[in-house]
Amino acid sequence: MSKIAIVYGSSTGATEAVAEKLQKALGEADLYNADGLNVEDLKSYDFLIFGASTTGIGDLQDDWDILLPKIEKLDFTGKKVALFGLGDSASFSTSFAGGMYVIYKALKGKVEIVGSVSAEGYTFDDSEALVDGRFVGLALDEDNEYDQTEGRIDCWVEDLKKYL
């Protein structure tokens, strides 16, 4: 199994809670808060999971503002990346989980991004995080669809295992 790091940015604690659930579901993974993370700490990992909440209308959570430009400069040789993002599919139904797309856009073409998820079963109007009919990672709504989080995490982790 690959050495796994989960890096999350969380303003209200919801993304942190999801990151902890992912850590538990994976069995072995190191957890890092994006706020103040030294990117050098990520070099020893084979598999990176990046997660963020979406603020405003599709904006990336603030802790990533300083971290993402540094992550973009990493040498991703031999690494894989998976993404997860939180959003509010009711209040921001036209930009659901858009923060996850910001990370995707920054890393696309630099690393193999795995773990896309079908949009089937989600309720929203639009999302930049939807590419070719699939979310670029695991999209979650802890405000309106919290009852589906556990099942979505379990399915996603099962899918990720083929890359580990």
Q: What is the pLDDT of residues 56-100, one digit of tens each?
A: 777 788 889 889 999 999 999 999 999 999 887 766 666 678 889
Residue 81 domain boundaries: 4-163
pLDDT of residue 53: 85
pTM for this structure?
0.93
pLDDT of residue 153: 97
Residue 26 parent element (H or E)? helix 14-26
Instruction: Provide φ and ψ at 9, rounded to 5°.
Output: -120, 130
Q: How many domains does the chain have?
A: 1
Segments of the chain with pLDDT less than 70? 1, 90-95
CATH of the domain at 30: 3.40.50.360
Measure the CA–CA gap between 126 and 119, rounded to whole angstroms: 10
